[in-house]
Structure 1
Amino acid sequence: MTDQTIARQVDDFNRGFTAQIGPELSAVFDGEQADLRASGVPDGAVGAGETAPDARLVTPAGEETSLTAVRGSTPTVIVFYRGAWCPYCNITLRTYQQDLLPALHERGVQLVAVSPQTPEATEQSIANGELAFPVLTDPENVLAGRFGIVTEPSAAARVAHTELGFDVADSNADDTAAIPFPSVFVIDTDGVVRFADVHVDYTTRTEVADVLTAVDDLVAPAH
């Protein structure tokens, strides 16, 4: 178990990261985050009460599946993340592994993570967080697109990424820089979204406690 919220871990990381990359690159990312917050959640993003869309997904072994097949008849928490290159994603997935997954198992709910990166990069995500839940590739962001949550880094941020030695397109299965907004959706046994939390600022994430509150509302016995 971790004893820290994701937000606190992100604050700790950001202090070191800012010192490491310097004020110029930090200003680029700060500007990108401010622009994202100003734009807000896309109008077309799937919300609570809507039917969860479906699309083809790929396992780390390269086998094809789909969200519907993965969900089956089990309540499911689906997490969209940007990729193994994103430190905020790694913090989040590691925290979900340690703190969220055991609590979901107790409630009969499964956890699934999805990103547009290649199956090989997905294996890196699994290794980074020692993840013991399904982590799948969404080729060309088809599923994320149907959830209405596709974006991409700003041009200035991509230049900054290059200065830091990587490019998002190199990790993605379709060689583009398109990525999902970090998001959590709780889906019931009928395939209806019961909770939706889309984070346009990628340095913030859905906390474990908030996911569990939504799940408990879902699986609570009727009175």
Structure 2
Amino acid sequence: MTLQAKLDAFKTDFEAGKPPYNVPPSVIQTMHRATAELIEGGAAMRALKAGDEAPSFTLKDADGQPISSTDLLAKGPLVLSFYRGVWCPYCNMELQALQAALPEFEKLGASLVAISPQTAVNSRKSVRQNELDFPILSDAHNDVAAAFGLRFELPDYLVDLYKGLKNDLPAFNGDASWTLPMPARYVIAQDSTILYAEVNPDYTRRPEPEDMLPALRRAASVAA
């Protein structure tokens, strides 16, 4: 089953309010409203695209060790996944799919990292629960996400909804702002050129990991 098929199956059960979710229709309507407004506002159009230069960054992994994009790119191409947090089931399914594809990425000399605003404690939980062999880096206040054009502020009505669902982003992220990154996937060549970019304001839609392989093959051929 493809990643998107798994996401669609989960979405169907979740939005139908099936146990254990039991989500009322009003909650689903509010989530749909927020997604539609983000799409209509053209947020994705402002994100970095293929052909742009990726900004460099240094972030800490779940164990507090600094990870530099410059160091990673010195070894080979880089795959980035911007991850909302351990609380997001769609994101966790994506991480699992990326983990399954990791051997293919490594064959092409690529490194894979996820970037999330969540705290190190929550990243350790993500790594453990999803059985990951790649790091999740903590992007405090979504500053790196902002450099990629991905950060957005949740509207007040969505903040109220999240609070009602006990989804306390300031607690998850150790940051008072109610901001998130749009889910995004990038392949970056060793010269920092973005070879592949997929940004979607609809967090229920994710590209297949295999979609990045042509860009990674191009990067590997240039490096060779």
Query: What is the SS of the residue equivalent to 1:95?
Result: helix
TM-score by length of 2: 0.89
Q: Which residue of structure 2 aligns with residue 10 of structure 1? A: 7
| Letter paired with 1:164 | L
Query: What is the SS of the residue equivalent to 1:196?
Result: strand
**For 2:53 and 2:31, how far apart are their aligned partners in 1?**
34
The match for 1:85 among 84, 87, 103 is: 87
Q: Which residue of structure 2 aligns with residue 22 of structure 1? A: 24
Residue 209 of structure 1: how far off its partner (Å):
2.3
Residue 42 of structure 1: how far off its partner (Å):
4.2
Structure 2: gaps spanning 5 or more residues? none
Q: Which residue of structure 2 aligns with residue 95 of structure 1? A: 97
| Letter paired with 1:57 | L
**For 2:152 and 2:203, how far apart are their aligned partners in 1?**
11
Q: Which residue of structure 2 aligns with residue 200 of structure 1? A: 201
Deviations 1:178-213 (A, max 9, x none): 111111111111121111111111111121221223
| Letter paired with 1:197 | E
Q: Which residue of structure 2 aligns with residue 144 of structure 1? A: 145
**For 1:140 and 1:165, how far apart are their aligned partners in 2?**
20
Report whether the alignment pairs 1:32 with 2:34. Answer: yes
Residues 13 and 42 (structure 1 numbering): CA distance in 2 closer, same or farther, change over 3 Å?
A: closer
Report whether the alignment pairs 1:173 with 2:174. Answer: yes
| Letter paired with 2:219 | L
**For 1:44 and 1:66, how far apart are their aligned partners in 2?**
25
Structure 1: gaps spanning 5 or more residues? none
Residues 221 and 192 (structure 1 numbering): CA distance in 2 closer, same or farther, change over 3 Å?
A: closer
| Letter paired with 1:116 | P
Deviations 1:44-103 (A, max 9, x none): 4222222210233111112333322343331110111111111111010011111x2111
Q: Which residue of structure 1 aligns with residue 191 of structure 2? A: 190
TM-score by length of 1: 0.90
Query: What is the SS of the residue equivalent to 1:140?
Result: helix
Query: What is the SS of the residue equivalent to 1:21?
Result: coil
Q: Which residue of structure 2 aligns with residue 51 of structure 1? A: 53
Report whether the alignment pairs 1:131 with 2:132. Answer: yes
**For 1:40 and 1:202, how far apart are their aligned partners in 2?**
15
Aligned sequence identity (%): 33
Residue 43 of structure 1: how far off its partner (Å):
4.4
* Structure 1 stretches of 4+ moved >6 Å: none
**For 1:124 and 1:175, how far apart are their aligned partners in 2?**
21
Q: How many residues align?
A: 218
The match for 1:61 among 60, 63, 69 is: 63
**For 1:144 and 1:164, how far apart are their aligned partners in 2?**
25
**For 1:58 and 1:154, how far apart are their aligned partners in 2?**
29
Mapping 1:104-123, distance limit 5 Å: 104-123=105-124
Query: What is the SS of the residue equivalent to 1:174?
Result: coil
**For 2:94 and 2:69, how far apart are their aligned partners in 1?**
21
**For 1:220 and 1:54, how far apart are their aligned partners in 2?**
23
Residue 156 of structure 1: how far off its partner (Å):
2.1
RMSD, aligned α-carbons: 1.8
